[in-house]
Amino acid sequence: MAESNPGVVHGKFVQDLLLTSQDFQENYVYNEGGVGFRDALDSGGIPVIDLSLLLTSPSELTKLHHALSSWGCFQAINHGMASSFLDKVREVSKQFFELPKEEKMIYEREPNDMEGYGNDIIYFKDQKLDWSDRLYFKVLPEDQRKFKVWPEKPNDFRSTVLEYTERLILLNKVILKGIAKSLNLEESCMLKECGDNDTMILRFNYYPPCPMADHVLGVKPHADGSTITCLLQDKEVEGLQILKDNRWFKVPIIPEALLINVGDQIEIMSNGIFHSPIHRAVVNEVKDRLTVAMFFTPDPDKEIGPIEQLVNDSRPKSYKPVKNYTDIFFQYYQKGRRPIEASKIQLCEGFNRQSSERKLLKRARVTRKSRRKA
């Protein structure tokens, strides 16, 4: 695994990097297969879902089911937050990254801690680094808040974050209820599966402009380890891409919408009916880009696994139960591997095939018998 002590080192701040530096050449640039990162397909196909209708409208639930089984994500509108409030969240976040370096460094991530201002943890020597600086901290459970890494500048940063958190607690409930209903499960099934002490983590992603934008990634391809992730996109600069059917699609900006994607833990709970989409972020040559991601995860002490009602003969259990999934997530991520592999039951494909082959054989036997009788 790591050549350097994991978690101890982090990269230079991208905001400070000089293009001529050796670090830039070696660690940020993808020489092979990394040309034309920005040549993705346009996607108008990502469903837009009206959250105010989700729990009462069967057609909105059908749309949700389709969105999460095909794309793994959707654009949420009518989520109860005014556009002016979303702008406020964007504004205070940007103001933080625009502070002089020494003011940001007050909140620097400490070695061996995930929370704070920093960027990629370096686990091994040739690790590819993301062209982004981040601020990352837990907002729930309340008694685990580390206020020392919550910026006090700009003045309204903390109050805005607290209000945003309250709003997203409600939004998460609506979406998890909708997910359960769209799978014909009891409405509170997913919420119960997440336990009482569920976690919310906020990550501010700041992508400075990058002259080699076609060869550099803001965030390397990954799927989130969350149950769901709520992403507030930059209002002007696109960058997010989703992998679908082996092709990259650009996620369009809808300024008043929140992009919701399911993470690995809903993929596991839904026994693979819903997919945690692989996504990445590209950067822009001249403009900076800022996004705010809220990750919802179950109580780390609660074991989660495929919901029993979603396991049957034609869909056998495809995942082993997992606990505290966030813990293994980052080490896999930095190695470019999918942590969900740790939970997948490897015989799944063979078993599926055997099970459908068994069905076909049974059908053939019944047909032969009825022919003989005739």
Q: Which does 203 bind (CB under 5 to 8 A by kind): Fe ion, ligand AKG, none?
A: ligand AKG
Inter-CA distances, 106 with 115, 149, 178, 351, Å = 13, 8, 41, 54
Q: Does 72 help bind ligand AKG (rule: CB under 6 A)?
A: no
Nearer CB in complex with ligand AKG: 93/318: 93
Structure token digits, residue 273: 């009916």
- Give start and end residues of each alpha helix (H) in the chain: 22-23, 58-70, 83-97, 101-104, 157-182, 189-193, 264-269, 325-334, 348-373
Q: Does 227 help bind ligand AKG (rule: CB under 6 A)?
A: no
b/e per residue, 317-344, with b = 16+ CB within 10 A? bbbeebebbbeebbbbbbeeebbbeebb
Q: Does 27 help bind ligand AKG (rule: CB under 6 A)?
A: no
Q: Does 240 help bind ligand AKG (rule: CB under 6 A)?
A: yes
Nearer CB in complex with ligand AKG: 180/325: 325
Site for ligand AKG in 258-287 (CB under 6 A): 279, 281
Which residue from 72, 239, 263, 277 is in contact with ligand AKG, where contact means CB under 6 A? Answer: 239
Angle at 35 between CA 33 and CA 39, to 5 degrees: 110
Q: Does 205 help bind ligand AKG (rule: CB under 6 A)?
A: yes
Nearer CB in complex with ligand AKG: 208/305: 208
Q: Which does 12 bind (CB under 5 to 8 A by kind): Fe ion, ligand AKG, none?
A: none
Mapping DSSP to helix (H, G, I), strand (E, B) and coil, where does residue 158 land?
A: helix
DSSP states along 264-288: HHHHHHTTTSS----EEEE--SS--
Contact mark string toward ligand AKG, 119..138, x via CB under 6 A: --------------------
* Closest distance of CB 292 from Fe ion, Å: 12
Q: Does 104 help bind ligand AKG (rule: CB under 6 A)?
A: no
- What are 75's strand-pairing partners? 48, 259
* Closest distance of CB 334 from Fe ion, Å: 14
Q: How far apart are CA 258 and CA 251, in angstroms?
A: 12
Site for ligand AKG in 289-328 (CB under 6 A): 291, 293
Residue 109 near residue 136 (C-beta atoms within 8 A): yes
Residues within the interface to Fe ion (CB under 5 A): 224
Q: How far apart are CA 321 and CA 258, in angstroms?
A: 30
* Closest distance of CB 114 from ligand AKG, Å: 13
How many chain residues touch ligand AKG (CB under 6 A)? 11
Angle at 46 between CA 45 and CA 52, to 5 degrees: 130
- What are 230's strand-pairing partners? 260, 294
Nearer CB in complex with Fe ion: 133/224: 224
* Closest distance of CB 66 from Fe ion, Å: 22
Residue type, 122: I
Q: Which does 281 bind (CB under 5 to 8 A by kind): Fe ion, ligand AKG, none?
A: ligand AKG
Which residues of the chain form contacts with ligand AKG (CB under 6 A)? 203, 205, 219, 224, 231, 239-240, 279, 281, 291, 293
